[in-house]
C-alpha cells in the first residue's frame, strides 16, 4: 500500500488517479490546510472506487502512527507541504515547521514502522538562479527564499538519512512548473485568493474573474524579454511518480531527477497559447519585475528518461486546453 501525504492537493489528486489506474493501493493523509474533501470525492468518481483517507498532520507522529497501525505501508509519496514563496518570506518559521519538521517526523515514523521508501516533491527552485539552461541534476544547489530553502534542507536531510542507513530508497523529483488539469475537467488547481502563479492567473483572467494579467518584466535576457519556464502537464508529472514507485527498489543511491519537458516558454507564449485554446482574450499589462524571479528556467529531462523510462507527452496546447476545461467548468474551484 502507498501512503500519499498531501494526496488531496493539486498534484496529489492527479497522482492518486494514475496510481489507482496502475493498480496501486493507496491511502491519503492530509490535513486539508490547502485542499478540500471535494477533490477526493471527484477522484473517487473518476476511478469509480472509494479511496481510503486519514485526516491528520505530518508534524504529528500520533496522527501518522494511526495510518501505519491501520494499513501495511510499503512506500510513501510525500506531497504534503506549503508552497507559497511570498508567504514563506513573511512567515519562514511556518514553512520550516511544516515542510522541514513535518518531513522529519514523517521519516521518523516511517523508520519506526520499517518503511524506508519515499518519493519526495522537490522543486527546480533548488537550483536557485542557474548559470546556464537547460538545467542538469548535477548543477549547484542554492535557494533564494525560505520555501526554496525548505526543499533544499529536506533534500539534505534525506541524503543524510540514506548515508546513515542505505536500506532507504529515496527519490527526489524536482518539478519544473506544473500546470494543466485532468482531461475530464473535474479536478485541477484551485488556489486560495489571488493566484501567485502564472497559469491559474491567466485562466482566471480568461474566465473573467480578474481584469488583466500583470506580466512581471519584459526586459529579461530572453527572446521576447519575458520570463521563460518549463511548464509541465500535471498528468505527466503524476505519471513520473508512478514510474518512480515502479523503479524505486532498483535504485542504490538517492536519486535526484528533473521532471520537466525540456522546453522553455515565455509569459507571452503562454498568453497566446491560452487565448488559442480558450478562444478568450487575456488582457495584460507590462509591470515591473517580481523580486526574486529569474530570466530562464528549464530542464534537461534526459536523466528521467534514462532511469525512469519517463518523458513528458503533453503539449503546451493540451496544458492550456485542459486548464481551460477545468477553469470554465469550475469557475469558483471546488
Ligand atoms: P497543494 O497545496 O495543492 O497540495 C499540498 C497538500 O498537502 C494539500 O492538500 C495540503 O492540505 C496538504 N498539507 C500541507 N501541509 C500539511 C501537513 N502539515 N500535514 C498534512 N497535510 C498537509 O500543492 P501541490 O501543488 O499539489 O504541491 C505538492 C507538493 O509539490 C508540495 O510539496 C509542493 O511544495 C511541491 N511542488 C509544487 C510545485 C507547484 O508549482 N505546484 C512545484 C514544485 C514543487
Ligand atoms: N508571472 C507573471 N505574472 C503573474 C505570475 C507570474 O508575469 O501574475 C511570470 C513570472 O514572472 C515568471 C513566470 O510567469 O516569469 C512563471 O511564474 P510562476 O509564479 O508561475 O512560477 P515560478 O517559476 O516563479 O515558480 C514556480 C513555483 C515555485 C517553484 C518554481 C520552480 O511557484 O514554487 O516554480 O519549480 F519553486
Asked if residue 205 lies in contact with residue 213, where contact means CB atoms within 8 angstroms, the answer is yes
Q: How far apart are the first and last CA of the chain?
A: 28
CA 290 to ligand 2: nearest atom: 11
Rounded CA-CA distance 172/93 in Å is: 23
Report residue 78 as a C-alpha cell. 510525500
265-266, strands of its sheet edge to edge: 265-266, 228-229, 296-297
Give the CATH superfamily of 2-182+230-260. NAD(P)-binding Rossmann-like Domain (3.40.50.720)
What is the tens place of the pLDDT at every residue in 48-102? 999 999 999 999 999 999 999 999 999 999 999 999 999 999 999 999 999 999 9
What is the tens place of the pLDDT at every residue in 5-17?
999 999 999 999 9
Is there a catalytic annotation at residue 147? yes
List residues near ligand 1 (CB under 6 A): 5-6, 8-12, 30-35, 57-59, 79-83, 98, 102, 121, 123, 175, 178
Measuring from atom 6 of ligand 2, which residue has the nearest CA? 198
Q: In a 3-state reduction of DSSP, which class is residue 156? A: helix
CB 187, CB 16: distance < 8 Å: no
In angstroms, the CA 44 to CA 227 distance is 38
Q: Which of 10, 95, 127, 147 is catalytic?
A: 147
Q: What is the pLDDT of residue 86?
A: 93
- 279 C-alpha vs ligand 1 centroid, how far in Å? 31
Please give the mean pLDDT across all residues of the chain: 98
* Cα–Cα nearest to 298, from 252, 264, 255: 264
Kindly state the average pLDDT of the residues 95-118. 98
Element (H, E) at 76: strand 75-78
Cα separation, 225 vs 295, in Å, equals 8
User: pLDDT tens-digit profile of 200-209?
Assistant: 999 999 999 9
Residue with cell 513573511: 90
- Percent residues over pLDDT 90 in the chain: 100
As a whole number, mean pLDDT of residues 249-264 equals: 98
Q: Which helix (H) or strand (E) holds 306?
A: helix 302-308
Residue 6 CA to ligand 1 center (angstroms) comes to: 6
> Which pLDDT value is given to residue 261?
98
| pLDDT in the model for residue 94 | 98
User: Which ligand is closest in space to the CA of residue 187?
Assistant: 1
Q: Is ligand 2 within 6 A of the CB of residue 201?
A: yes
C-beta of 173 in contact with ligand 2 (< 6 A): no
Cα gap 294→227, rounded to integer Å:
7
What is the C-alpha to C-alpha distance for residues 182 and 20, in angstroms, rounded to an integer? 14
How do the domains of the chain map onto residue ranges?
2-182+230-260
pLDDT band at 327 (very low <50, low <70, confident <90, very high): very high
Amino acid at each position: 500500500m502507498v501512503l500519499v501525504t498531501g494526496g488531496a492537493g493539486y498534484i496529489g489528486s492527479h497522482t492518486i488517479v494514475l496510481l489507482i489506474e496502475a493498480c496501486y493501493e493507496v491511502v491519503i493523509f492530509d490535513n486539508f490546510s490547502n485542499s478540500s474533501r471535494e477533490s477526493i470525492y471527484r477522484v473517487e468518481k473518476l476511478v469509480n472506487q472509494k479511496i481510503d483517507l486519514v485526516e491528520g498532520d505530518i508534524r504529528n507522529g500520533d496522527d501518522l502512527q494511526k495510518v501505519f497501525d491501520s494499513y501495511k505501508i510499503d512506500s510513501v509519496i510525500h506531497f504534503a507541504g506549503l508552497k507559497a514563496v511570498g508567504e514563506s518570506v513573511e512567515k519562514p518559521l511556518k514553512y520550516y515547521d511544516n515542510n522541514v519538521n513535518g518531513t522529519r517526523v514523517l521519516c521518523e515514523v516511517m523508520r519506526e514502522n520499517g518503511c524506508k521508501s519515499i518519493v519526495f516533491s522537490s522543486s527546480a527552485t533548488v537550483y536557485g538562479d542557474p548559470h546556464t539552461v537547460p538545467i542538469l541534476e548535477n548543477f549547484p544547489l542554492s535557494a533564494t527564499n525560505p520555501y526554496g530553502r525548505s526543499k533544499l534542507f529536506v533534500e539534505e536531510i534525506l541524503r543524510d538519512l540514506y548515508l546513515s542507513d542505505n536500506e532507504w530508497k529515496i527519490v527526489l523529483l524536482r518539478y519544473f512548473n506544473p500546470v494543466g488539469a485532468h482531461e475530464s475537467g473535474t479536478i485541477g488547481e484551485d488556489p486560495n485568493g489571488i493566484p501567485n502563479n502564472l497559469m491559474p492567473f491567466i485562466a482566471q483572467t480568461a474566465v473573467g474573474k480578474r481584469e488583466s494579467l500583470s506580466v512581471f518584466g519584459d526586459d529579461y535576457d530572453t527572446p521576447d524579454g519575458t520570463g521563460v519556464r518549463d511548464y509541465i502537464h500535471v498528468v505527466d508529472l503524476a505519471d513520473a511518480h508512478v514510474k518512480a514507485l515502479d523503479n524505486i527498489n532498483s535504485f542504490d543511491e538517492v536519486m535526484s531527477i528533473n521532471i520537466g519537458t525540456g522546453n522553455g516558454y515565455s509569459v507571452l507564449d503562454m498568453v497566446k497559447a491560452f487565448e488559442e485554446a480558450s478562444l478568450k482574450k487575456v488582457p495584460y499589462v507590462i509591470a515591473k519585475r517580481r523580486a526574486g524571479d529569474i530570466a530562464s528556467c528549464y530542464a534537461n529531462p534526459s536523466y528521467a528518461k534514462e532511469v525512469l523510462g519517463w518523458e513528458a507527452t503533453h503539449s503546451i496546447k493540451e496544458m492550456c486546453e485542459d486548464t481551460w476545461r477545468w477553469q470554465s467548468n469550475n469557475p469558483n474551484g471546488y
